[in-house]
Amino acid sequence: MNAPNNVVANLRRLTRHHLFWPVAALVALVLACGAYSPGFLDVTVADSHLFGQPVDILRQSVTPLLLGLGMCLVIATGGIDLSVGAVMAISLAVSLTFIDANGPGTATALTALVIGLITALVIGTFNGFLVTVLGIQPFIATMILMVAGRGVAMLVTKGQITTTASPAFKSIGSGFVLGVPTPVVIGAVVLAIVAVLVRRTALGMLVESIGINREASRLAGVRATGLIWTVYAICGLLAGLAGIVYGAPTMAADANNIGLMKELDAIMVVVLGGTKLDGGKFSLAGVVVGSLLLTTIERAVIIFHIPSQVTPLFKALVLIVVCLAASERLRRAVTGLLPVRRLQEAS
């Protein structure tokens, strides 16, 4: 009598977890791909490097992951950063232009990486300045660079698509560390650093409290300016890293196309991961799941041979299903019709 009730109760608790539906969709998609295309799930070792579709998905999910981690923190404060796509283009342009001028050596590649990241950090700091000191609404403040940023990148590359060669720099995007693709390692390390930064310190809680109730936080002594500024700087820095990781394999600084529309991907993975757009509580694990889901959807489109004209439709359908499944209101409306509820309440 009690046992089935417990199962039902546990199942309900599980489905209420904010990551249940995104994870369920992810698993379903991967299984569907595996069923449709045998061998999809195979991971092979060649040259002591890992290869296979799952590895590719992991590798490609690093870009939305890096963008999403920064975006997640910004959104938690109640803001938004629309400039991340443009920042990707700028930092890549700066790095590749530096390599173009200084040759392909490893030291040059490292310097280029650092310069690219510093540029991104400066841009993030500039966004933070606009939002906190000047009090411009985040949507507008970051739209400035979303629009103008590609122009800046064009200035850096002098209007050309700078192509250059540097094996060391290229390996940031296409190399392997102990058999694992370098981007995956970078993504994992950054995730760990950000997680420690926000959860082992009080940064995460203070950011959430600002996002939920700014005035109450101020009166409790929380100084929002510094925190919000920091968060935009982090978001810029991670966007720069994402640009380099994403663009390094091509070694071509295409100011017009690198990171195009990626800000929307970033917002999407944050929302898919259960963080609300109006700020407050955020979930880093949600960003991980969201970026894996987004990348898997893009891969599934190819696996299923979906005609390219309807690709966006497929993507949209999966996203709508996940969002609907995670909607508490819908769930309440649906579970109200089921006998499960009576059982639950009787227990």
Partner 1 sequence: MTDQKDPGQAPVVEMRGITIEFPGVKALDGVDLTIRPGEVHALMGENGAGKSTLIKILTGVYQPGAGAIRVAGEDVRFGSTADSQAAGISTVYQEVNLCPNLSVAENIMLGHEVRRGPFVDWSATRRAATKHLARLGLDLDPASILDSHSLAVQQLCAIARAMVVRPRVLILDEPTSSLDKAEVAELFRVVRGLRDEGVAILFVSHFLDQVYEISDRMTILRNGRLVGEHRTAELSRMDLVSAMVGRSGEILADVGERAARVAAAEHDRAEPVLSAQGLGRPGSAAPFDLDLFEGEIVGMAGLLGSGRTELARLLFGADKPSEGALAVRGDTRAPSPLVSLRRGVVYSSEDRKKEGIIGDLTVRENIALAIQAGRGALRKVPAKELDAVVAKYIEALQIHPANPDALVRNLSGGNQQKVLLARWLATGPKVLILDEPTRGIDVGAKAEIQRLVTELADQGLSVLFISSELEEVLRLSERVVVLRDRHVAGVIHNGPDVTVETVLETIAERAAS
Q: Given the rule CB under 8 A, which residues bind partner 1?
A: 200-203, 205-206, 208-209, 212-213, 215-223, 227, 280-281, 344-345
Closer residue to partner 1 (CB): 140 or 202: 202
Question: 3-state SS of the chain: helix, strand, coil percent to 5?
Answer: 75, 5, 25
Return d(Cα 240, Cα 81) in angstroms, integer: 13
Return d(Cα 138, Cα 77) in angstroms, integer: 10
CB of 210 to partner 1, least distance (A): 9
CB of 211 to partner 1, least distance (A): 9
Closer residue to partner 1 (CB): 112 or 231: 231
CB of 199 to partner 1, least distance (A): 9
Return d(Cα 277, Cα 292) in angstroms, integer: 20
In three-state secondary structure terms, 140 is helix
Sequence-distant (6+) residues with CB within 8 A of 98 are 108, 111, 112, 115, 116
φ, ψ for residue 89 (rounded to 5)?
A: -65, -40
Cα-based distances in Å from 43 to 102, 121, 171:
39, 36, 21
Sequence-distant (6+) residues with CB within 8 A of 342 are none
Closer residue to partner 1 (CB): 305 or 342: 342
CB of 221 to partner 1, least distance (A): 3
Residues in the chain: 347
Closer residue to partner 1 (CB): 145 or 206: 206
CB of 230 to partner 1, least distance (A): 8
Residue type, 39: G
Tell me the two tokens of residue 301: 């489109």
Closer residue to partner 1 (CB): 44 or 335: 335
Closer residue to partner 1 (CB): 233 or 244: 233
Closer residue to partner 1 (CB): 327 or 347: 347
Closer residue to partner 1 (CB): 147 or 220: 220
Return d(Cα 23, Cα 9) in angstroms, integer: 20
CB of 58 to partner 1, least distance (A): 31
* Helix (H) / strand (E) containing 40: none
CB of 121 to partner 1, least distance (A): 19
φ, ψ for residue 336 (rounded to 5)?
A: -60, -25
CB of 333 to partner 1, least distance (A): 15
